[in-house]
Amino acid sequence: GLAQLDDDAFDCIVADYDMPGLNGLEFLEAVRERHPDLPFILFTGKGSEEVASDAISAGVTDYLQKESGTDQYAVLANRISNAIDRHQSQLLVERSERRLREIIHAVPHLLHVVAADGTYLLANEALATFHDTTVDAIEGSHVTAVLDAPAADRFLEDLPAVIDSGTPRHMSA
The per-residue pLDDT for 169 is 74
What confidence category does residue 3 fall into, taking pLDDT thresholds of 50, 70 and 90? confident
90 near 14, Cβ under 8 Å?
Answer: no
- Return the closest-CA partner of residue 65 out of 19, 17, 11, 1: 17
Q: What tens digit of pLDDT does each residue of 76-122 get?
A: 999 999 999 999 999 999 999 999 989 998 989 998 989 999 999 99
Q: State the average pLDDT over residues 17-31.
A: 88
Does this model's pTM top 0.75? My answer is: no
The per-residue pLDDT for 4 is 86
Q: What tens digit of pLDDT does each residue of 48-72 get?
A: 777 778 888 888 999 888 888 788 8
Q: Which long-range contacts (CB under 8 A, 24 or more apart) does 57-63 make?
A: 58/25, 58/28, 58/29, 58/32, 59/28, 59/32, 60/28, 61/12, 61/87
Contacts of 104 (CB under 8 A, 6+ apart): 111, 122, 124
